[in-house]
Structure 1
């Protein structure tokens, strides 16, 4: 058991668990800051817009900071210390500071998952796939709303006799959190398996999925400590261990959500890696399919009443006995693909033989 220095109050001396909590947050939140900053740099300089998932991730980033601040406040009243070291005043103040911490943790992972689901929704235009994404998103929103309402109302730690109720909320949230984490990680796997990817692309996608798996691992690692609190009287110490896993889980989720949309940045600043040099194609029909790292659906939908015009400009050097000759032909090919619908039938016509030739003398 960690002993307090003589004459110091519990909130003024930090033990190894409390210091470890601060270090865990500092390291993981630092990586969150770097990844989020890179996303904003990409949005401002390359994409030229702030995407919805980036806005949601920013909210989650702020909520993660609030969650840590509530932890620091709790440390002043015994969070991370053995309950035998605390007096009655510390415990009363601990319970009062516990509500913001509980509510913030219930909300923050859900917000992060919503940002990831926004990205996953775009990678496959299939109605069934998108329906699954929506179902997962609605489920996360529903259970988060219910648990938050209960924790802030009937089971509020500000009321007496609510410890058992709070334990039930913690256990329910842990189980539902694991289930939703698994669902979010599993959703894109069928789409990814249907693509023909290069080895480097597979490495990148596997790395991002590994980050997502890390979030699942953190959620699972928390579960035994949640169950332990039902029979453990040293709740102030056990809850702090839970807090460390929660910090890592939340921040890993933010990093994963930011990394999923960094393809343009990688292509511009790390072209030597050639991570996206080959086009991913579907195994089923050979058509271009969306990439996982921020590539939106490649399906092109055109109005059947309009013609599609494709212009290709070719400059062809004429062979000449004189190597200094600069004679060249510029060929402009004008292609027309027209699809019309009449009486429920499609009819296509093309005019690919039309060519305008312009000879430019040397």
Structure 2
């Protein structure tokens, strides 16, 4: 059968690629909705506060819906179809809808990663660690601002001969996105693995990091299609749609990961039988460096000559059965007193409710 020339192609219903895009968004956004709702339940019912990362993730959640709406608009004008099926009117409308779609995608992953960095900033008081977190955050903000400015300016798809420019922006964003994803995953590793965790705690942290790694995998999976888009423009409307499916999964998975990494209070309260976040150690004194007595003193001080700091334990009572007693402060049961410049080894103490470390904020936030 002869192909119909552009301009005479009839309007067709959604094809399999377009249907797959809708399904991919529906499934991943559903899980985002569930975990975000759980975070708000936890914030209102249990911890009695709304953390800044939750506010930022809510913005990402709303932006993800806007991103999908821009995709639906593009579908109505040829997104996900082969070029031969489209007429000139379709291509013009497609170009109009491409700008908001591209800008939205550029912004959402960056905002989601900034929310994660807000959490990671709290887990280690070391000035070097926090400087690294801030440096990563500034880098993400800088390259996102630069790419959005270029896309909305010289590479605006409504201008003539800007397709190659847009492809270069997509390639640069893909590479920078992979690097920043890896940075967010790797940043907490030295702190997390320096703590005295039980096997169940290590498993729970590994699950969180695995979810974060899956976002990196999605970013990497997009890369070949970005490269393919730059090598051939003969069927860009179809290639961009394949790229868009991975983008949807990446965006929603990032939001899911950002929300789930702070669900410890909810799980401890309603699913204590899992024991994933138990900080008790039944092996006695093995590998534990203790300071002072093993009693219920509310103040534990470390040797100032070793650049350690003073910690105050709040709401820790011997024999307490309240699983949320360790969530009285944003950083957990131990609130840091000092400038947070310690780079020495993490010391572990015993309070009234079990083993606690000077890095207890890490234990409280992530496990």
Alpha-carbon distance in 1 for matches of 2:288, 2:90: 64
Change (3 A) 1:284 1:246: farther
Change (3 A) 1:272 1:167: same
Superposed CA RMSD in Å reads 2.7
Contact 1:194 1:284 in 2 (8 A): no
Match of 2:100 in 1: 100
Match of 2:331 in 1: 296
The structure where strand makes up a greater share of residues is: 1
Q: Measure how far apart 1:300 and its partner are.
A: 3.7
Change (3 A) 1:61 1:83: same
Larger Rg: 1
Change (3 A) 1:19 1:300: same
* Bigger relative CO (Cα 8 Å, ≥ 6 apart): 2
5+ residue gaps in structure 1?
A: 303-311, 314-362
Match of 2:88 in 1: 88
Are 1:69 and 2:104 counterparts?
no
Superposition map of 1:250-265 within 5 A: 250-265=251-266
Superposition map of 1:262-341 within 5 A: 262-278=263-279, 296=331, 298-301=334-337
Alpha-carbon distance in 2 for matches of 1:300, 1:226: 45
5+ residue gaps in structure 2?
A: 292-299, 301-310, 312-325, 339-350, 353-367
Match of 2:348 in 1: none
Alpha-carbon distance in 2 for matches of 1:240, 1:124: 41
Superposition map of 1:73-152 within 5 A: 73-152=73-152
When normalised by structure 1's length, the TM-score is: 0.77
Contact 1:80 1:237 in 2 (8 A): yes
Q: Secondary structure at the match of 2:239?
A: helix
Alpha-carbon distance in 2 for matches of 1:61, 1:20: 21
Alpha-carbon distance in 1 for matches of 2:288, 2:258: 28
When normalised by structure 2's length, the TM-score is: 0.76
Q: Secondary structure at the match of 2:276?
A: coil
Alpha-carbon distance in 1 for matches of 2:81, 2:288: 58
Alpha-carbon distance in 1 for matches of 2:238, 2:159: 21
| Moved segments of 4+, more than 3 Å | 7-10, 283-289, 297-300
Alpha-carbon distance in 1 for matches of 2:126, 2:288: 14
Alpha-carbon distance in 2 for matches of 1:177, 1:239: 17
Alpha-carbon distance in 2 for matches of 1:274, 1:227: 45
